[in-house]
Structure 1
Amino acid sequence: MSEFIETRIVNHVGLITLNRPKALNALSPDMIRALMAALAQWAEDPEVYAVFVRGAGEKGFCAGGDIRYFYETAQRERAALLPYFVDEYALDYLIATYPKPYIALLDGIVMGGGMGISQGAALRIVTETTRMAMPETQIGLFPDVGGGYFLARVPGRIGDYLGTTGVAIGAADALYAGLADIYLPRNMTADLLSLLETEPWRDGNAVVARVRAMADGHVAPPPRDMALKDLRDAIDMHFSCESVSAILASLSREARCEFSEWAQHVEAQLRKRSPLMVCVTLEQIRRARSKSLSLADELRVELSMMKRVFDGHDGLEGIRALAIDKDHAPRWLPASLDQVDAMQVERFFESEWPAQAHPLAQLGV
C-alpha cells in the first residue's frame, strides 16, 4: 500500500483520498497499486455500495503521472518503466468497468493520469477551481490513460483540439465537452462529504441520485476566455483538416478573420509542442474515432505507443525541459513539422507484442 493513499469505509461508502498534495497528487507506482488493491477488495465487499475519490490539498485532484519517476527510471533502464503503465492502464480500465458507482470529485488540477482515474467514473463532479487538460504533447508524450477513447467521443473536433494543444479547460467547458457530469461549488464539498457519511443509503444508485440532486440549480461559472461552445464552429473547421500542417495553415488564415486572437494563440501553442507527438496524437484520436475502438483496445494500443515513446527521444527530452532542468527549451526530434514523415507516425501504431502476449491482453475478456 502507499503512504499517499488514504482509504476507509464509512456508511457503506468507500472513501479514497489521494494524499500527496506537495506533488499535486501525482500518481506514483505505489499509489496506483494501492488504488487497485482497495478497489478490487471493495468490489467484492457487499457492505460497500459506492466509492468516492478526491484529492487532498487546495490545488489538485491529480496532476497526472509522476513524470520525475518516469525520467529517473528511464535514465537507468527504459524497459523498467513499462510496468508502471501496465498497472496504470489496468487501473483505468477497472474504474471504467467498476461494478459499483465510482464518484470522482474533480476539484483543482485534473490532468493526464488524473483524467485516467476519473473519466471512467459513474459521476464526475467539477467545481469552479477545476483545471482539466491532457497536456502530454507539451512534454513529448501523447494523451494516454484512454485519452484516445474519451477524446474521440467529445462533440465535433473538440477532442482533436484538446489533445493536440493540451489546453486546459474549466468546469463549464468540461461539462459542455461531456468530460464532466455535474457542477458543485467548492464551498459545498464539505457538505457533500457529510452527506456521504450520514445519509442512510440503500444502494449505490441512491448515492449517485442524491449527489446529483445536491448539484441541482448550481451553474458553473463561465470560462475566463472564450467558451468551447462559442468556439465550436471554428474548432470543427480547423481541426477537421486532414493533417497538422493543414490545421496550422487554416489557423493562419483564421488569424486574419473573426477569431483572430484565438487562432494566433492556438497556432503558436501547436508550434511549441513536439512536432512528432502532435502528429501522433492527431492520428491516435482519429483512429480511435473512425474505428470506434473499445477502451480495452485503445489502452492496448496506447501501451505500445508509450513503449515506443520512451524508446525514442521526445518523451525524456520534454520531461527534462519541464521538470528536471526547467529550461523550458526542449530540443525536439524531428525539430520541425516538415521533418515528420508518415512512416514515423505509423510506427507508433504497430503493436509491440502479439495479441496473446500483450501485457493487457486480459482487459475486456
Structure 2
Amino acid sequence: MNRYTEDVQHSCVGHVGLITLNRPKALNALSLAMVRELTHVLQTWQNDPQVWAVAIRGSNKEGPFGAFCAGGDIRYFHQAALSGDASLEDFFTEEYNLNHLIHNYPKPYIAFMDGIVMGGGMGISQGGALRIVTERTQMAMPETHIGLFPDVGGGYFLSRCADAMGEYLALTGQVLRGGEAVTVGLADVRAPSAELPALWQALSEKSWPDANAMVAWLRTQTQATTQAALTQPPAWQAPALNAVFSLHTVRDMVQALQAQIQEAQAKAKGDEEGGTWASQTLEALRHRSPLMLHVTLELVRRGRSLTLAEDLRLERDLVRHCFNTDHLARRGVSSETVEGIRALAVDKDRQPKWQPSRIEDVTPEMVLPFFESPWPSSAHPLRHLS
C-alpha cells in the first residue's frame, strides 16, 4: 500500500499543522493516495501534544488558495468500475473513515474553503471547527448530476440545514457562493480572498495561548465580512422553496413546480421571479438522474434522525449499490453512476441515458433496495465508527 503522495503537502509550524492540497490540474480532486495521506497525517497529529490545531487549504495553478477541492476523482471511479478494480471499494471506505475522523477531530480543524468546494471537498471541510469561505467560493453537492448521491456525510450535514434547504441543495446541486454558504449554515465565516495568505501565515507566526484563542482571532478578523454576507439572502431562494421541497416525493415536487409555471404563464408573468425560479428548478431536476433523485431524497429524509456514523454506514451501502445495482440487474457500464460520469467527464456529450429516463417512472421497488445493506452488521466496512 503506497501511502505517500506529493499531492498532499503538510508541515507543522509553531503549534499548527498545515495541509495544502496540491493537485491543481485536477482542482485537487481526491485520489485514494490523497485520502490515505490525509488520514495518516491527521491521525499522527491528533496524538502530538505540539500540534494544537490543523488548517487545510487548496491550491491552483498559480499557487496556494484559489481552489479547495472539486471532490473525488470521478474519472478514476469510471475507469475502476469498468475494469473491476477492487480499490474502488477501498476508496469509499477510507474516504468515509476520513470524513468521520475530521468531524470528530479532538483539535480545532480549520478549513480555508476558497474556490471550488464540491463533493469530497465538502467531506473534508464540513466537520471543521471553523469553515472559512470567500467571494470566490463555489460550493455544491452536485452528485445527482452524475448519477450518484450526496455522500461524504451529505445525508447528515445537508439534512441539518433549515427547513427544506437540505432537500433543495441535495436534489438540484445548486452552487452556493461564499456568503450564501454562511447563510444556509454550511460555512461559519466569510473572508476576502485577498486576506487569506495573511490569515494563514498568522496561524503559525503569532503567539497563541491556546487553540481556542486562535479560532476566536480568526472569527474576529472575519466578523465584518461575515455580517455583511448574512444580510444578503441567496438570490435563488424563492418564497416557494420550502413549500415545494418539503413535499413527500420528487414527483410531487415536479408537479408543484409545473403548477407554479402554469400559474405564472396564465398571469402573463412568466419572466417574474416565481415563474422563473420554478422553470429553472424544474429544468435542473429534469437533467439529473431520476433514479438517484429519489434515492437522494430518501437519504436526506432518513439522515435527519441518524448520527454521523450511522449516516456514513448507510452511504457506504448506497455507494456499493450505485456501482453494483443487482436488484436492477445493472453493473459497470449500465449503472447510473458510470453512465453519468461518462456523459459529463469522459465523452463529455452531456447526454446521459438515464434508466428510467423520467422522474415519473421511478418506483419504490427501484429505490428501497438501495437502503438494504449488502453486509451483515458484524462485517460492515464501517462497523467500527461510533
The one of 152, 168, 173 equivalent to 1:145 is: 152
Instruction: Say whether the 8 Å CA contact 2:77–2:88 is kept in structure 1.
Output: yes
1:205 Cα deviation after fit: 1.1
**Percent sequence identity over matched residues?**
49
SS at 2:353 equivalent:
coil
Would you say 1:62 and 2:65 are equivalent positions? Answer: no
Amino acid at match of 2:44: Q
**Distance in structure 2 (CA, Å) of the matches to 1:11 and 1:143:** 37
Aligned residue number for residue 7 of structure 2: 4
**Distance in structure 2 (CA, Å) of the matches to 1:339 and 1:274:** 12
**Distance in structure 2 (CA, Å) of the matches to 1:336 and 1:253:** 18
SS at 2:239 equivalent:
helix
1:317 Cα deviation after fit: 0.2
Q: How does 1:61-210 map to 2 (within 5 A)?
A: 61-77=68-84, 79-210=86-217
Check 1:222–1:175 CA distance in 2 against 1; reply closer, same or farther (3 A cut). Answer: closer
Instruction: Say whether the 8 Å CA contact 2:28–2:68 is kept in structure 1.
Output: yes
Instruction: Say whether the 8 Å CA contact 1:131–1:168 is kept in structure 2.
Output: yes
**TM-score normalised by L of structure 2:** 0.90
Instruction: Say whether the 8 Å CA contact 1:19–1:25 is kept in structure 2.
Output: yes
Instruction: Say whether the 8 Å CA contact 1:172–1:220 is kept in structure 2.
Output: no
Would you say 1:47 and 2:23 are equivalent positions? Answer: no
Instruction: Say whether the 8 Å CA contact 2:190–2:229 is kept in structure 1.
Output: no
**Distance in structure 1 (CA, Å) of the matches to 2:281 and 2:169:** 11
**Distance in structure 2 (CA, Å) of the matches to 1:282 and 1:60:** 29
**TM-score normalised by L of structure 1:** 0.96
The one of 312, 315, 323 equivalent to 1:302 is: 315
The one of 266, 274, 278 equivalent to 2:293 is: 278
1:132 Cα deviation after fit: 0.4
**Distance in structure 1 (CA, Å) of the matches to 2:9 and 2:75:** 23
1:228 Cα deviation after fit: 3.6
Would you say 1:216 and 2:223 are equivalent positions? Answer: yes
Structure 1 stretches of 5 or more lacking a match? none
1:173 Cα deviation after fit: 1.3
1:254 Cα deviation after fit: 1.7
SS at 1:218 equivalent:
helix
Aligned residue number for residue 246 of structure 1: 252
Residues 316-337 of structure 1: CA distance to partner in whole angstroms, max 9, x if unpaired?
A: 0000001111111000111112
Aligned residue number for residue 355 of structure 1: 377
Amino acid at match of 1:141: L
Would you say 1:30 and 2:33 are equivalent positions? Answer: yes
Residues 134-184 of structure 1: CA distance to partner in whole angstroms, max 9, x if unpaired?
A: 000000000000000001000110000000011111112111111000011
Aligned residue number for residue 262 of structure 1: 277
**Distance in structure 1 (CA, Å) of the matches to 2:181 and 2:139:** 7
Amino acid at match of 2:347: D
1:221 Cα deviation after fit: 6.8
**Distance in structure 1 (CA, Å) of the matches to 2:351 and 2:149:** 18
Instruction: Say whether the 8 Å CA contact 1:36–1:91 is kept in structure 2.
Output: yes
Q: How does 1:322-333 map to 2 (within 5 A)?
A: 322-333=344-355
- Give the paired residue count: 360
Structure 2 stretches of 5 or more lacking a match? 265-272, 326-334
**Distance in structure 2 (CA, Å) of the matches to 1:220 and 1:11:** 31
1:60 Cα deviation after fit: 1.7
1:253 Cα deviation after fit: 1.5
1:220 Cα deviation after fit: 7.1
Instruction: Say whether the 8 Å CA contact 1:78–1:311 is kept in structure 2.
Output: no
1:79 Cα deviation after fit: 4.4
Instruction: Say whether the 8 Å CA contact 1:158–1:232 is kept in structure 2.
Output: no
**Distance in structure 2 (CA, Å) of the matches to 1:362 and 1:161:** 32
Aligned residue number for residue 267 of structure 2: none
Check 1:295–1:110 CA distance in 2 against 1; reply closer, same or farther (3 A cut). Answer: same
